[in-house]
Amino acid sequence: MDIILSSRGKNKIAYKGYIYRKDKDTQTTISWRCEVKGCKGRLSTTLEYESDRNCSEKGEHSHAPDVVKVGEEIVKKKVLKAAATTHDPPRRLLEDAIAGLSDELAAKIGSGAKLKSSISRKRRIMGNYVTSLNLTSLK
Ligand SMILES: [Zn+2]
């Protein structure tokens, strides 16, 4: 299970090729819903999901898992976050972000031309405000 930050600073999690967004909390668990509209796929985690990676799947997805798409999303978040806080060249950021992915996934994401231009764009937008950036507000 990987945790990725959504655009509004709320967590999304990726699990087995699906992406879930937070649905509701109870006293002991958090329930997450698949981000595909109309899909009935659900995931249930404990409140400490960031450290306790136990989770259980519920419901049926109306679509196939997409490990590559999910992998790309995770890499993109990592890269853009690093782009805002370091001065490493885009290629280096990309390499760091895909380290740890499966070889197949890394090969598919590896060229990352689109990502590299997002990094440059991100840095232009950030300008001199990088150091005062609140990471949770990253888009
Ligand atoms: Zn689904």
Cβ neighbours of 66 (radius 10 Å): 14
Domain ranges of the chain: 2-58, 67-130
- Tell whether domain 2-58 is in CATH 3.40.50.2300: no
**Ligand 1 mean position, distance from CA 18 (Å):** 6
Q: What confidence tens digit (pLDDT) does each residue in 110-130 have?
A: 666 667 777 777 777 765 444
How many angstroms separate the Cα of 6 from the Cα of each of 2, 27, 47? 12, 23, 18
Instruction: Kindly state the percentage of the chain with pLDDT values over 90.
Output: 24
**Ligand 1 mean position, distance from CA 65 (Å):** 8
**Ligand 1 mean position, distance from CA 133 (Å):** 33
Q: Which helix (H) or strand (E) holds 57?
A: strand 55-58
**Ligand 1 mean position, distance from CA 14 (Å):** 11
**Ligand 1 mean position, distance from CA 118 (Å):** 27
Q: What is the pLDDT confidence band of residue 134, given thresholds at 50, 70 and 90?
A: very low
